[in-house]
Structure 1
Amino acid sequence: MGDGPVFFSRRGALAAATLNLPKALNALNLDMIKLLSAQLDQWADDDSVAAVWIDGSGDKAFCAGGDVVALYRESAAYGETPDYTYTTDFFAREYRLDYKIHTYKKPIVVWGGGFVMGGGIGIMAGASHRIVTETTRLAMPEVTIGLFPDVGGSWFLNRMPGRTGLFLGLTGAQFNGSDALFAGMADRMLPSVQREAALAALAELDFDADPDANHRLISDCLKPLELPLGERPVSALREHYDQIQQLTDFASLPDVCRSITGYEGEDKWLQKAAATLAGGSPLTPWIVWEQLKHGRHMSLADVFRMELALAVNLCASGHFKEGVRALLIDKDRQPQWQPATVEEITAEQVERCFHGPWQGANPLADL
């Protein structure tokens, strides 16, 4: 157990990891990434561990994202000469952890109650059994801070129905547990009060030596605990599917952005999505547009290698520093983007972001 930023425990053959920074909504820092990664390696080689459970401390959030304030300190403002050391280390370690979860042989169950954003989605997306609840609020809101939907976003946004992934990436719109099920980002919805019951039920399973058999055991165990269909929140993504398809049905990014930000209807969810895109970084939408195009036929490992180049370059671009300053540091919510509009961003600026600034091999070359 312990009181560190991640605490680990065992219930028989079930090993558990709890992200433990509830005051920071369990936001993922470098220390947590290192601890969780090392522990997963240990459990992978431990024959007495059949399955892994990952959750967050408290009821407000599983994990509300990465430690953007630490990244802010190490990122460059407009016109500054960037130092890529910290950002490369942070994102390489984070993406390595995400890749490990995606490719883990033993079942990993993630309890995604409350806020699950950015880096939290990175941990949850690759798990074999992703649980949401009626309290789940997911988002990839990077457009507000001049970053981009990373942690494998090029992989999972591309696999959502229609152009819903493009829409969520551009607008940072929040979506709930029902939306996550619709978009293929979750597997089960359980009542939030059933966390302990689910954990206890899994711990009592008669696990097998075969990981595939254990995957099936866990699925069968969780199924009867699910929230009945009639009690689940409405899926905005499902309800707005046709409208999202219409709003994004253009061959160029500026046209798509004008279409979404030009929304004049009464729907609050679409209004908020339009406003977020309108106020967000003008570089991010270009990255989203291109990362989805580039990533469509890439392997998962190649996706993380591409995203590593994008992440360190955006932290060096001035956009991330300015976005975080306006949202979290000075809190004036008045970012002064340079350039200020999507139309002013050049193809060369976007293309440069896809080339890693390192001498030699990509730090994730061995994935």
Structure 2
Amino acid sequence: MTDLVLVQTHEAADGSLIGHLTLNSERSLNALSLAMVDALFSQLTAWQQDERIQCVLLDGAGDKAFCAGGDIRAMYDACVEKPGQRVAEVEEFFTKEYRLDHLIHVYQKPIVLWGSGIVMGGGVGLMAGASHRVVTETTRMAMPEVSIGLFPDVGGTYFLNRMPGQCGRFLGMTGYQMNAKDACYVGLADFAFGSDRRTQLLDDLKGLNWQSEQSSQLLVSQLLKGYQDLDSGKLPDTVLGAEQARIDGIFGGDSLDALVERVAQTTSDDKWLSRALATMLAGSPITWHLVWDQLKQSTLNLEQVFQYELTLAVRCAEMGDFIEGVRALLIDKDRSPNWRFANAQSVPAAHIDAMVTPPWSSHPLQQLSKEA
């Protein structure tokens, strides 16, 4: 069986080692399975303790995608066996995925993440915490969970709250696909340059003097900034930055019902906006409410964010729209989901209160801050 995560080490000119992890499921656009999550966590943990490893490069097989998200088909299969119940397989996957995402956020060595091609859902989760996040002219980044009755997880509560203006609400509720400079604008990427530098990047990392007095973080930053300075004019400009005022006008305010009404009444000849708003309106009203709640959690630290999101993820499978959303989009592919509630106003406050209430007396991620 082919390894789902390729593990390599490359010797640098000064004898140091660069760890190289490649998501290796090209047919599924490198969608994250539980086995891949386990492999990544195990190897990153080992390399953090290995003094020879100076830097980690994380990428995906092929040119189409870094990672298109989690393996939601596998979770769907587990959920349909236990409708309306907590599902152990779902709990295990999200617990381990969030633990991996947290490890990347607190990792002590540079992680260069090659975010070229499709980067969505769980792929954004891997990317968000990396120290050196690279995007290219082929990058298509999104949190599209509204279409499957989930919510923008994998740390979304943390990074959506730190975006300019109302970009967090906009991205969380619409699944808008960002280009490279959009990702940089909202703080999900650090360096944007041409995808043709992929081979050069590894060669140049091997050529760095890792034993110099400069920190390894700074060495990598200087290298990547050099590429960006050369290629900046070749990449499309940010749409989100140019359209910030319009986004804020639609997605601002303190009423979800009013926001949905504005979205429904907004017409635009701009495809980026009309497509995003249509996606939201076709999405799960429960997800709208969950995103609304997420954007109220700006004071949570990283560990608290993942604990909060694990509760939401488990509840989405148990009492949300996840099963129906996946059925309509990926299983039957009729794109006609029968959501539990027809609109935002019909979602009872008690239902959302139940979804944000942890089902455990002892939280599976309560030790997260001690695992770094």
The TM tier, using the shorter chain, reads over 0.9
| Mapped pair 1:232 → 2:240 | no
| Mapped pair 1:289 → 2:292 | yes
Kept after mapping to 2: 8 A contact 1:98/1:126 = yes
| Mapped pair 1:57 → 2:61 | yes
Task: Provide the C-alpha distance between the structure 2 equivalents of 1:74 and 1:46, rounded to a whole number of angstroms.
Answer: 37
The residue identity in structure 1 corresponding to 2:365 is: L
Residue in structure 1 matching 2:150, options 147, 152, 164: 147
Kept after mapping to 2: 8 A contact 1:261/1:277 = no
Task: Provide the C-alpha distance between the structure 1 equivalents of 2:91 and 2:341, rounded to a whole number of angstroms.
Answer: 25
CA RMSD of the aligned region, Å?
1.5
Task: Provide the C-alpha distance between the structure 2 equivalents of 1:100 and 1:249, rounded to a whole number of angstroms.
Answer: 33
The residue identity in structure 2 corresponding to 1:325 is: R
Q: Percent identity?
A: 45
Kept after mapping to 1: 8 A contact 2:113/2:134 = yes
Name the counterpart of 1:138. 141
Report the alpha carbon displacement of residue 342 of structure 1 after superposing the two structures with TM. 1.1
More deviation, 90-99/348-357: 348-357
Q: Superposition pairs for residues 256-275 of structure 1, below 5 Å?
A: 256-275=259-278
Name the counterpart of 2:302. 300
Report the alpha carbon displacement of residue 225 of structure 1 after superposing the two structures with TM. 1.5
| Mapped pair 1:113 → 2:149 | no
Q: Secondary structure at the match of 2:53?
A: coil
Name the counterpart of 2:366. 365
Task: Provide the C-alpha distance between the structure 1 equivalents of 2:52 and 2:83, rounded to a whole number of angstroms.
Answer: 51
Task: Provide the C-alpha distance between the structure 2 equivalents of 1:174 and 1:19, rounded to a whole number of angstroms.
Answer: 21
The residue identity in structure 2 corresponding to 1:221 is: L
Task: Provide the C-alpha distance between the structure 2 equivalents of 1:318 and 1:345, rounded to a whole number of angstroms.
Answer: 11
Task: Provide the C-alpha distance between the structure 2 equivalents of 1:262 and 1:74, rounded to a whole number of angstroms.
Answer: 39
Kept after mapping to 2: 8 A contact 1:74/1:83 = no
| Mapped pair 1:35 → 2:39 | yes
Task: Provide the C-alpha distance between the structure 1 equivalents of 2:349 and 2:268, rounded to a whole number of angstroms.
Answer: 32
Name the counterpart of 2:2. 3
Task: Provide the C-alpha distance between the structure 1 equivalents of 2:148 and 2:299, rounded to a whole number of angstroms.
Answer: 28
The residue identity in structure 1 corresponding to 2:41 is: S
More deviation, 261-270/279-288: 261-270
Task: Provide the C-alpha distance between the structure 2 equivalents of 1:356 and 1:86, rounded to a whole number of angstroms.
Answer: 17
Q: Secondary structure at the match of 1:208?
A: coil
Name the counterpart of 2:94. 91
Q: Secondary structure at the match of 1:285?
A: helix
Name the counterpart of 1:19. 23
| Mapped pair 1:249 → 2:252 | yes
Report the alpha carbon displacement of residue 14 of structure 1 after superposing the two structures with TM. 0.7
In structure 1, runs of 5+ residues without a counterpart are none
Task: Provide the C-alpha distance between the structure 1 equivalents of 2:30 and 2:110, rounded to a whole number of angstroms.
Answer: 22
Name the counterpart of 1:82. 85
Name the counterpart of 2:14. none
Task: Provide the C-alpha distance between the structure 1 equivalents of 2:211 and 2:168, rounded to a whole number of angstroms.
Answer: 37
Q: Secondary structure at the match of 1:42?
A: helix
The residue identity in structure 1 corresponding to 2:23 is: L
Kept after mapping to 2: 8 A contact 1:121/1:138 = yes
Task: Provide the C-alpha distance between the structure 2 equivalents of 1:17 and 1:197, rounded to a whole number of angstroms.
Answer: 17
The residue identity in structure 1 corresponding to 2:348 is: T
Kept after mapping to 1: 8 A contact 2:182/2:241 = yes
Report the alpha carbon displacement of residue 108 of structure 1 after superposing the two structures with TM. 0.5
More deviation, 87-96/257-266: 257-266
The residue identity in structure 2 corresponding to 1:364 is: L
Task: Provide the C-alpha distance between the structure 2 equivalents of 1:303 and 1:261, rounded to a whole number of angstroms.
Answer: 31
In structure 2, runs of 5+ residues without a counterpart are 12-16
Report the alpha carbon displacement of residue 114 of structure 1 after superposing the two structures with TM. 0.1
CA gap of 1:270–1:42, structure 2 versus 1, over 3 A, is same
Name the counterpart of 1:156. 159
The Cα offsets for residues 50-96 of structure 1, whole Å up to 9 and x where unpaired, read as 1100000000000000001011112259x933133111110000000
Q: Secondary structure at the match of 2:262?
A: helix
Residue in structure 1 matching 2:327, options 325, 328, 331: 325
Kept after mapping to 1: 8 A contact 2:193/2:232 = no
Name the counterpart of 1:314. 316
The residue identity in structure 1 corresponding to 2:222 is: D
Name the counterpart of 2:282. 279
Kept after mapping to 2: 8 A contact 1:118/1:151 = yes
The Cα offsets for residues 301-322 of structure 1, whole Å up to 9 and x where unpaired, read as 0000000000000011251000
Q: Runs in 1 of length 4+ with deviation above 3 angstroms?
A: none
| Mapped pair 1:188 → 2:187 | no
User: Aligned pair count?
Assistant: 362
Q: Secondary structure at the match of 2:295?
A: helix
Task: Provide the C-alpha distance between the structure 1 equivalents of 2:2 and 2:221, rounded to a whole number of angstroms.
Answer: 31
Q: Secondary structure at the match of 2:22?
A: strand
Kept after mapping to 2: 8 A contact 1:263/1:270 = no
| Mapped pair 1:101 → 2:104 | yes
The Cα offsets for residues 127-183 of structure 1, whole Å up to 9 and x where unpaired, read as 000000000000000000000000000000111101101110011111111101111
Kept after mapping to 2: 8 A contact 1:98/1:151 = yes
| Mapped pair 1:71 → 2:75 | yes
